[in-house]
Amino acid sequence: MISRALCLAAHPSEKLTTEHLELTDIPLAPLLDGEVLVRNTWLSIDPSIRLRLGESAPSGYLPPLRIGDALVGLALGIVVESRHEDFRPGDLVSHMHGYRDFAVVSAAAGGLGGAGTLTRIDAHDWPQQWYLGPLGSSGLTAYVGLFEVMGIRPSDTVWISAAAGAVGSIATQLAVHHGCTVIASAGSRRKADHLVDALGASSSFDYHDGDVGSLLAQAAPDGIDAYFDNVGGSHFIAALDALNPEGRVVMCGAISTYETSNTLPSNLFQITAKSLSVRGFRAGSFGHLYDRVRSTVGSRLANGTLIHEESIYDGLEHASTALVDLLNGRTTGKTLCRL
Q: Residue numbers of the site for ligand NDP (CB under 6 A)?
A: 46-48, 138, 141, 162, 164-168, 186-188, 191, 207, 230-231, 252-256, 281-283, 326-327, 329, 331, 335
Indicate the residue among 104 and 187 with the shorter CB distance to ligand NDP: 187
Indicate the residue among 6 and 252 with the shorter CB distance to ligand NDP: 252
Shortest distance in whole angstroms from residue 233 CB to ligand NDP = 7
Shortest distance in whole angstroms from residue 176 CB to ligand NDP = 17
Indicate the residue among 37 and 158 with the shorter CB distance to ligand NDP: 158
Indicate the residue among 129 and 230 with the shorter CB distance to ligand NDP: 230
Shortest distance in whole angstroms from residue 4 CB to ligand NDP = 24
Q: Who contacts 332 (Cβ-Cβ below 8 Å, separation ≥6)?
A: 164, 165, 169, 191, 194, 309, 311
Shortest distance in whole angstroms from residue 174 CB to ligand NDP = 14
Indicate the residue among 77 and 253 with the shorter CB distance to ligand NDP: 253
Indicate the residue among 105 and 231 with the shorter CB distance to ligand NDP: 231
* Alpha carbons within 13 A on the beta-carbon side of 64: 15
Shortest distance in whole angstroms from residue 54 CB to ligand NDP = 15
Indicate the residue among 48 and 267 with the shorter CB distance to ligand NDP: 48
Shortest distance in whole angstroms from residue 146 CB to ligand NDP = 12
Shortest distance in whole angstroms from residue 231 CB to ligand NDP = 4
